[in-house]
Structure 1
Amino acid sequence: MSEITVRPLGEEEWQDYREVRLEALRESPEAFASTLEQEAAFDEDFWRTRMTRSARLIAERDGAAVGVVSVGTAETDDGADAGELFGLWVKPELRGTGVATTLVKNGAALAQRRGQSHLYYWVGTENGRAVAFASGMGFRPTDERRPMGVASAEDGEEEIAMVLPLGQDPGVVGP
């Protein structure tokens, strides 16, 4: 298999982000808060603005997009300068091959370069695979819960905030 590379997308690459985002919504509609129909209707100005609100990292193999993740700023109760990882998606045929790990490591490194002390990642409490993946990356569960933020969520389903410390503690598993 060819090497996977991860790079940030600039505002001028909004069409590249739009393409992979719509593919993610098409392939895994249950994993996102928005729908393919909603986002396909957004105009260029919307996509350009979206590119400036959070960092968009794209994983590529042989120049083709195979995964994506976004890194923004988390809203925390204690006012901590923390990042938030969201919108993680990998092409189904490449799941389990390290693409998601590479995207998350790059997202954590970006948050650390920004000076953020922690990286939050919201995961469905019933999504054992996602919880195990995040735990394996060094994220730890918190007491924070919120209603599930995806379009397919049933009433009462929740997400848990998992957090990855980005400090210099040698006992912390991180990027």
Structure 2
Amino acid sequence: MGDVRTMTVGPDDWRSWQEIRLRSLREDPDAFGSTHEREAAFPEQTWRSRLDGAHGPSVLAYAGEEVVGIGAGWCHEPGRLMVVAMWTEPDRRGQGVGRRVLGHVVGWARERDLRVELWVADGNPGARRLYERYGFRADGRTEPIRDGADATMSHLVLPGQ
């Protein structure tokens, strides 16, 4: 984990963000509310606008020059930040990459006194363990991961804010 660093990225980093985001959607399609097909069709401007920082941080994790993790926060309503797009390269899982990215996003939210929450796919026990070890707790809410999907997701909140 010592060789991994995280950084908030902006619109000029859109190609790096796009590459790992599309890879995450392709490799773990049941972990996300969006789809590879949907986001692969986004034009450059959509990717850039998602990284403009207006609604929260976009974070990449690097091991040397290689991008090995991704995550973001989205201020979807006043006083609240939703953690989204969390993913770690499969060969880096279990090495603290996700915790570093999550810590970066949560730190950003705490600096702004925001309540942090997220949705996790019920079929993704590794991600759920990461969030629960960090301190997130389920609040009992569940819903389909996408319209028409059988897979579900659970809502978790970070207490103490």
Q: TM-score range by the shorter chain?
A: 0.7 to 0.9
Summarize the alignment of residues 37-116 of structure 1 with structure 2, pairs less than 5 Å apart: 37-52=37-52, 53-75=55-77, 81-116=79-114
Structure of greater Rg: 1
Amino acid at match of 1:73: C
Summarize the alignment of residues 1-175 of structure 1 with structure 2, pairs less than 5 Å apart: 3-52=3-52, 53-75=55-77, 81-116=79-114, 118-149=115-146, 153-154=149-150, 157-165=151-159, 167=161
Asked if structure 2 preserves the Cα contact closer than 8 Å seen for 1:120 and 1:164, the reply is yes
Please give the alpha-carbon distance, in whole angstroms, between the structure 1 residues aligned to 2:25 and 2:147.
11
Please give the alpha-carbon distance, in whole angstroms, between the structure 1 residues aligned to 2:113 and 2:136.
18
Asked if structure 1 preserves the Cα contact closer than 8 Å seen for 2:98 and 2:130, the reply is no
Uncovered stretches (5+) of structure 1, i.e. residues with no partner: 168-175
TM-score, normalization by structure 1: 0.80
Aligned residues: 159
Uncovered stretches (5+) of structure 2, i.e. residues with no partner: none
TM-score, normalization by structure 2: 0.87
Which secondary structure does the structure 2 equivalent of 1:165 belong to? coil
C-alpha RMSD of matched pairs (Å):
2.2
Please give the alpha-carbon distance, in whole angstroms, between the structure 1 residues aligned to 2:116 and 2:160.
7
Amino acid at match of 1:112: R
Amino acid at match of 1:36: H
C-alpha deviation, 1:162, in angstroms:
0.6
Cα distance 1:74–1:19, how it changes in 2: closer, same or farther (>3 A)? same
Cα distance 1:150–1:29, how it changes in 2: closer, same or farther (>3 A)? farther
Identify the range of structure 1 (46-55 vs 13-22) with the bigger mean alpha-carbon deviation.
46-55
